[in-house]
Structure 1
Amino acid sequence: MSVVPTRYRRTSRDRVLVTPEGISVPVTVASRGSRVGALMLDFLVILVLMGLTTWGLIEIAGGLTGIDRNLEQKNALGHALQFLVIVWLVAMFLFRNAYFLFFELGPRGATPGKRIAGIRIAARDGGRLTADMVIARNLLRDIELFLPIVFILQAGAQSGMGWLTATGWLAIFLLMPLFNRDALRAGDMIAGTWVLERPRQKLEAAMSLARAPAARHEDEVALDAGAAPARRTYRFEEAELAVYGEYELQALERVLRDDRAQSLESVYETIARKIDRNDGWNDERAFLEDYYTELRARLEAGMRMGRRKADKFSGSQE
């Protein structure tokens, strides 16, 4: 990962991510404000889910205790109420922890709050986001945010030392993103992740609006002459498409969207060497556009049939 040279930067948060294959991919680090907003949205969703679950279990418990019962039935009722308490404790734990794990381990790498804010988590080394990374960054959230609450509960709400300790602890971890250029929290540093802005433009629109200047000029000349603009079409065999998966498709999408000549050439060389093709020289963008279109169609067809290929290292999964 490196910083984009100043003359090429759109914002101070622009970076260049180098994938394990040596492909340079331009990315933008999410702003601190968008991360805070996403976290607040997620906490709101969690609180609503916790409230609805608590209300539902209270209603069930009220229905059980509202009926006259003999001693034997009352003993069974006591066990039932204990079971409901256990269900409530498990549900609260899952909402607090499994909520983030479930969504961030998904293909989008983002919770509902992050999706609304237009951000997602990614691996800082350019590789695939792994379960270990997601689990590590979310377990650290307990230390960052919930441990101060434990201090207060153990010391008592009236304890000045408890409040002082909790305040100092929160200050250290909550202010940490302000003192590093990539806005990393402790969980990101430990897990090797960061939070990036998601592409805000659909690829189809980007392809039509961000075409290479030479191609646009040729189209204009052809239209002035009354002829349809010519463009070579590339076709790929099943074996040529089978070498890549969803992760590589997303990386290719970013490269096409940003339309930077150096990145296009680098990605073309990597793919051409991998599939043993050399017919796209000097026409790299058209080659990559067609490869992207066919690879996406293949992966979408596979998902409809219940098969997924996460990346080039994994086989199709049923």
Structure 2
Amino acid sequence: MAQRLDRINTFLEGASRNRREIISPEGIVLEVDVANHGERLIAFIIDFFFWMLATGLLYLMLALLMVERVSGAVATTIVLFIAFLLRNLYFIHFELASQGSTPGKRITHLRVIDRGGGPLLPGAIVARNLTREVEIFLPLGLFFSQPAVSSGAYFWYSAACLGWVLLIAALPFFNRDHLRAGDLIAGTMVISVPRRQLLAELVATETAYAFSRSQLDVYGAFELQVLEELLRRPLSLETSQVQQQVCRKICSKIGWAEPVPAEKTAEFLQAFYTAERAHLEREQLFGRFRADKSELPAARR
């Protein structure tokens, strides 16, 4: 199944997703798309912006309330503690409340899940987010603290802090599931959950197009899934052009003599999808399954 979906993505997009199969404790096989590095980086940048905005507003309120009431050292301690509290509560709260999605992850359609296929436990969420302190914020905090040491010692001190951050940041590039240290410790992973349009209306749609059995026999299950993925795409100029190309190929293959106007392309493809799906399901009931157009139905070999 995963290989077939990879073929569909390659056919439509020219590249396959990094897909994994996870077996749940109940023995159910779950297919997931692993989030790539770019998606995770964009989600983190969005979350970092929201966190900085919330932190800045809180600091402004505290400055107005506590001006000239505390010393500089106490104020610095309070600021650092609030920053620690906000950045951890931000990620932990949203991942607990939104089934593993922060605002940044929701915008980029990502989710945190348990690698074993079980429920995402609060302990795992807390562990993966507290680990971020050791991964990023602690070494960066030490780097910018600028201790009073000699120039040579400070160089090695700064190099060690930055080296630690770079080493940890590179970890997702050296494992197939793009796991950072927090994911390895907590037993989690980040997956892509793209929003797709439901195709129930495609099956139930009444249409003026009628196809013969010989025309429907031209294609198999793989081609039907390719067409389904295409019809699920959001409407755009690029999608419309691809639909027109696919429509011309289908008309040529099945011998459809009547030309299909450009504005009727989506309607024609939906009608063909509905008819082809019903035909393949009916054939499968009689033991005649066709994987793709290059394969004869099993009962006819």
- Work out whether the TM-score is over 0.5: yes
Alignment of 1:223-242 (within 5 A): none
In structure 1, the partner of 2:96 is 105
Looking at structure 1, the residues matched to 29 and 190 of structure 2 have their Cα atoms a distance apart, in angstroms, of 18
Q: Secondary structure at the match of 1:208?
A: helix
Q: Does 1:19 align with 2:24?
A: yes
8 Å Cα contact 2:127-2:186 kept in structure 1 = yes
Q: How does 1:199-218 map to 2 (within 5 A)?
A: 199-202=194-197, 205-209=198-202
- What is residue 57 of structure 2 aligned with on the other side? 52
Whether the aligned pair in 1 keeps the contact of 2:140 and 2:165 (CA below 8 Å) is no
Provide the rounded CA distance (Å) in 1 between the counterparts of 2:70 and 2:173.
51
- Distance change (3 Å), C-alpha of 1:85 and 1:165: closer
Instruction: Tell me the residue number matched to 2:138.
Output: 147
What is the number of equivalent residue pairs in this alignment?
A: 202
Tell me what 2:176 maps to: 181
SS of equivalent residue, structure 1 residue 105: helix
CA distance in 2, matches of 1:83, 1:148: 22
CA 1:170–1:101 in structure 2 vs 1: closer, same or farther (change >3 Å)? same
Cα deviation for residue 91 of structure 1 reads 2.8
Conserved? CA contact 2:140–2:162, under 8 Å: no
Distance 1:88 1:155, change over 3 A: closer
Q: Could you tell me whether the CA contact under 8 Å between 1:151 and 1:165 is conserved in 2?
A: no
Alignment partner, residue 123 of structure 2: 132
1:35 aligns with 2:23: no
Counterpart residue number, 2:2:
4
Measure, in 2, the Cα distance between the counterparts of 1:18 and 1:191.
18
Cα deviation for residue 98 of structure 1 reads 0.8
**Structure 1: gaps (5+ residues):** 66-76, 225-256, 259-281, 284-318
Once residues 167 and 201 of structure 2 are traced to their aligned partners in structure 1, the CA distance between those partners, rounded to angstroms, is 47
Trace 1:279-298 onto structure 2 (pairs within 5 A). Answer: none
In structure 2, relative to structure 1, the CA distance for the partners of 1:161 and 1:78 (3 Å cut) is closer
Distance 1:48 1:32, change over 3 A: same
Q: Percent identity?
A: 35
What RMSD in Å do the two structures reach over aligned CA positions? Answer: 3.3
SS at match of 2:32: strand
Displacement, 1:107?
A: 3.5
In the alignment, residue 132 of structure 1 is paired with which amino acid? Answer: G
Q: What code does the residue aligned with 2:99 have?
A: R
CA–CA separation in structure 2 for the residues paired with 1:167 and 1:151: 10
